[in-house]
Structure 1
């Protein structure tokens, strides 16, 4: 008796979709309302950030659209608000809803870019340390241990301060997104390296690695073509959590004056810019972007926790 997945009418793409539908990952996702809500929230925020030029009523980067006389207007549910500004305005007269949309895009860009750099460095170093062993392993892991002995934020602050002092504040502001990606990425690569190394140590003792060596394959090919694909599951799980951590790190650096400039704000720099106006009563400048940041980070973290539970067979309880 033939099964649906082995039907000759099934195309390769259809076969992949059938395997996805039959997988435990998809089965668990359909049964978990929390994961569905987190994914929907995350996709909505990402979609709004990507469509910011079309969804935002004004362009916060266009000085001609900024009205300084409309500064510190409250949101629509508070007396004294202006219908043209749904969530109010900031201290410079910019529409807060528009800035949040553009700022979310900047925060996501920094988060994903930093994690991409972390993963690239961590995976390469972890593969080399786990597969080659010996002095290479000792050197790379000692570097990771030294960096992990300091807090991530401390490393990011030191690197950011050195870069800003060396290259100048103007250069740092002009290339703030690139600088933050480099700073946060360099501060977090040991998380990937240690995880990948542990997986590689388990994989390189398996028979398929011995068979590849007998066939005369080079170590580089064995590492990247055979061992690496079998270590991707923990990498995906770490990446979800690290994206949230990178966004929080950017917000913390912005609050300390090492983040995005006010002319091209992120969610973190918006919170920092509005912090000085809390006592004057303009609480929305800080709290509304802060609420967006909390929802964004919380949805990513909860989705990462669900993914970790599903992809870790030791946590499966049936």
Structure 2
């Protein structure tokens, strides 16, 4: 008797033949956006090596060179390609370092949102009953508090307890916590809806009959089938988190000017627009817009791919 062995395709082979890659190859906008996003992330990660100067090193800051224009404007200094800010820091260097801070806060906040929201959504959708009602009412209460309100409350309490200098020292961690705790209901509601659709399917009934515990059924069987909407939400939430950080920094509730982020850079140059030093705000603002735009466009493409009925080619 001859045994026929059916070869199992490798992960790379499955990815190569997947609808995801097929759709990506056909979408020029998605390709350009991914290229721009990867380039910006790489530049932020490699900031210590790519930046002409270190904006954290006070010895490299020359206050006499403040408000120098970019290289294409008369009166510029070839040493500062994008000019300098009001403190005499090289604007290109501060943008590279600031983008890294904004990306860390954006991704860190989304990871926290996902951990809380996915866990609550799984519990609410699978267990139902009082657990579902309690967690969803908790989400409703959380949604009634805006990110700005949460930031004001947390910032005021932290500064009153530990002082402003301590707040500045732990600003990145605090912003991750503030934005993460303020936005987790988006995940919880989406995951709950997916779990409600999945828990009545046959594979869940089979897992129950086999005696698997609820925890294993939720995380080993149901969760993998709810990853598509989670990925789509994550792309949108990363952009929202970066915008939230910029807004909070602009209002003085985020990163201090001594620790540049894209938001704090925009805020630091806002008072100098009327004096003619528009580049201090406009250039970091343009970088922020491009970063958020490419993330949102990638999120739109990913949403269409994850739901082929919406994909128009």
Tell me which interval the TM-score lies in, with the shorter structure as reference length: over 0.9
Deviations 1:99-144 (A, max 9, x none): 0000000000000000000000000000000001111100000111
- Once residues 144 and 170 of structure 2 are traced to their aligned partners in structure 1, the CA distance between those partners, rounded to angstroms, is 29
Could you say what secondary structure the match of 2:296 adopts?
Answer: helix
Write out aligned runs for 1:190-229 (5 A): 190-229=185-224
CA contact (8 A) 1:161 1:258 kept: no
Which residue is equivalent to 2:235?
Answer: 240
Shift of 1:162: 3.4
DSSP 3-state at the match of 1:262: coil
Cα offset, 1:317, TM superposition = 4.5
Match of 1:299 among 271, 284, 294: 294
Equivalent runs, 1:153-302 vs 2, <5 Å: 153-302=148-297
Q: In structure 1, list runs of 5 or more residues that go unmatched.
A: 1-5
Under a length normalisation based on structure 1, what TM-score does the superposition of the two structures give? 0.94
Q: Which residue of the other structure, out of 43, 53, 56, is the alignment partner of 1:58?
A: 53
In the alignment, is the contact (CA less than 8 A) between 1:310 and 1:316 conserved in 2?
A: yes
Aligned partner of 2:71 in structure 1 is 76
Distance 2:247 2:305 in 1: 31
The residue aligned with 2:138 is: 143
Q: Which residue matches 1:99?
A: 94
Give CA-to-partner distance per residue, 1:259-316, whole Å, 9 cap, x none.
1111111000000011011111111000000000000000000000010011013313
| 1:315 equivalent in structure 2 | 310
Please report how far the alpha carbon of residue 161 of structure 1 lies from its aligned counterpart in structure 2 after TM superposition. 3.4
> After superposition, what is the alpha-carbon deviation per residue over 1:211-266, rounded to whole angstroms, capped at 9, x for unaligned?
11111111111111111111001000000000000000000000111111111110
Query: Residue 29 of structure 2 aligns with which residue?
Result: 34
Gaps of 5+ in 2: none
Instruction: Tell me if structure 1 keeps the 8 A contact 2:145–2:182.
Output: no
Q: How many Å separate the matches in 1 of 2:185 and 2:114?
A: 9
Give runs of ≥4 in structure 1 deviating > 4 Å. Answer: none
Alignment of structure 1 residues 11-30 onto 2, 5 Å: 15-30=10-25
| Equivalent position SS for 1:277 | coil
Using the alignment, how far apart are the partners of 1:254 and 1:81 within structure 2?
A: 28
- Distance verdict in 2 for CA 1:221–1:88, change over 3 Å: same
Q: How many matched pairs?
A: 309
C-alpha offsets along residues 139-172 of structure 1, whole Å, 9 cap, x if unaligned?
0001111222343433333333333334321211
- For 1:117-136, what aligned pairs fall within 5 Å after superposition? 117-136=112-131
Write the mapping of 1:109-120 to structure 2, written as runs, cut at 5 A. 109-120=104-115
- Residue 160 of structure 1 contacts residue 183 of structure 1 at CA under 8 Å; is this kept in 2? no
Contact 2:53/2:93 (CA < 8 Å) preserved in 1? yes
Secondary structure of the 1:86 match is coil
Q: Distance in 2 between matches of 1:41 and 1:53?
A: 20
2:83 paired residue number: 88
